[in-house]
Structure 1
Amino acid sequence: MRIPAFNRYRRGLAGFGLFLSGMVIGSAVYMSMHQHSYSIVHEEKERLKNENKNLKEDLSKMNTVKNRQAYISLISVDLETDSKHPIDPKSESEIVKAVKTDLEALRGKPVARVKEDLQLFRKLIDNKVYVDIFDRDYVVNVKSVVVIQSELIFYITAKEPIRN
């Protein structure tokens, strides 16, 4: 029995190898693009889920004190980021959540007390270090405190402490 010469198939095998490697590389590029798109959608979903949860909490808390207009019924925290040292969105949401938790004791207090005890309210979170937020520490500073009707708004900044 005669075996055909391998030289006849060499060119075809090289073409098949290139075709096969092109398929592998193309599928890898497609999967990386798909995974990147999925990551973006997942982050947006988590952000919207947190926002929905916060809005539901605010709504339930406002319903408990809706008849008491002279009392603080809603506490908002606005984190202003520094353009030189930006904070990632997940850390921002964790910092805001931690500050809101610390300020929760102010809910239901008379609005008139804000004017009297403004410095006390500021000192609750001013220069406070929030430890271990995604393996980092942040120092929170209060820029301003605003009261609009029954809503208490804290404008804060956060940055990583300087370590020696």
Structure 2
Amino acid sequence: MRLPPFHRYRRFSQIAAVFVLGMIVGGVVYNSIYHMAYNVLWMTNQDLRIEIEQYKSDIQTLKKYNNTSTVIREIKVRTEATTAKEGKAAIDPVTSKEVLRKLAADLEPMRGRSMFEIDSDGKLARLLLDSKIYLVREKEYTVSIRTMLVMEGVLQIWVEISPYKHS
């Protein structure tokens, strides 16, 4: 049995190897672009789901308290922009939204309360929720309430979210 000399097919094997390598690199690039676009879509979907839940609860409350103007009808929780400080990584938006959703659920009993009694309710909320630990994606985060403001039936709360440090 004779084997043909390999040097005749060297050029063909080099071209075939470059073609296969190009297919692999192209597949990797396409897959990374696909996953990046899917990640953006998923994050947008999570944001929209949280907004829908908030709007549903706001609609129910507005229907319930539409004749009274001195009660808290809507609760808006916002996070202050936290930058990476002292070697801490900035919190990703999905985690931040999830912590805000859990915090809004804890603040739900304040809905329907009188705006004129917010001083005692605000102190109670600050005592209960300040430095509370929330578990999101198997990591612990603590919340610090910075500002609470009531205006025209809307309770607005600004919080700062940071990773929890074990002592």
Q: TM-score category by the smaller chain?
A: 0.7 to 0.9
Q: Does structure 1 conserve the Cα–Cα contact (< 8 Å) formed by 2:50 and 2:101?
A: no
Aligned length: 163
- Extract unaligned runs of 5+ from structure 2: none
The structure with the largest alpha-carbon Rg is 1
Residues 75 and 107, structure 1, Cα contact 8 Å, conserved in 2: yes
Residues 1:56 and 2:60 are matched in the alignment: no
- The one-letter code matched in structure 2 to 1:90 is V
1:128 match: 132
**Deviation at residue 150 of structure 1 after TM alignment:** 0.9
Judge conservation of contact 1:102–1:124 (CA < 8 Å) in 2: no
Distance in 1 separating the partners of 2:153 and 2:52: 21
What TM-score results when the alignment is normalised by the length of structure 1?
0.85
Q: Which consecutive aligned stretches of 4+ in structure 1 deviate over 3 angstroms post-superposition?
A: 1-7, 115-118
Partner Cα distance (1:122, 1:4) in 2 = 84
Q: How does 1:1-164 map to 2 (within 5 A)?
A: 5-83=5-83, 84=85, 85=88, 86-130=90-134, 132-164=135-167
SS at match of 2:133: strand
AA of the residue aligned to 1:143 = R
| Cα separation, 2, equivalents of 1:119 and 1:46 | 32
Q: CA deviation at 1:104?
A: 0.9
Shift of 1:80: 1.3
Equivalent pair of 1:81/1:87 in contact (CA under 8 Å): no
Instruction: Name the aligned partner's letter for residue 26 of structure 1.
Output: G
Question: In the superposition, relative to structure 1, how do residues 7 and 87 fare at CA in structure 2: closer, same or farther (>3 Å)?
Answer: closer
Report the 3-state secondary structure (helix = DSSP H, G, I; strand = E; otherwise coil) of the residue aligned with 1:137. Answer: strand
Measure, in 1, the Cα distance between the counterparts of 2:26 and 2:146: 52
Q: Secondary structure at the match of 1:138?
A: strand
Q: Is the 8 A contact 1:103 1:124 kept in 2?
A: no
Give the 3 Å change call, closer, same or farther, for CA 124–29 of structure 1 in structure 2: same
Q: Deviations over 1:44-98 (max 9, x none)?
A: 2222232223222222222221111111111111121321242211221121112
Residue-by-residue CA offset, 1:26-46 (whole Å, 9 max, x unaligned): 222222222222222222222
Question: Separation in 2 of the partners of 1:14 and 1:141?
Answer: 62
For structure 1, the 5+ residue unaligned runs are none
State the Cα distance separating 1:5 from its structure 2 match.
Answer: 4.1
Q: Which one-letter code corresponds to 1:128 in the other structure?
A: K
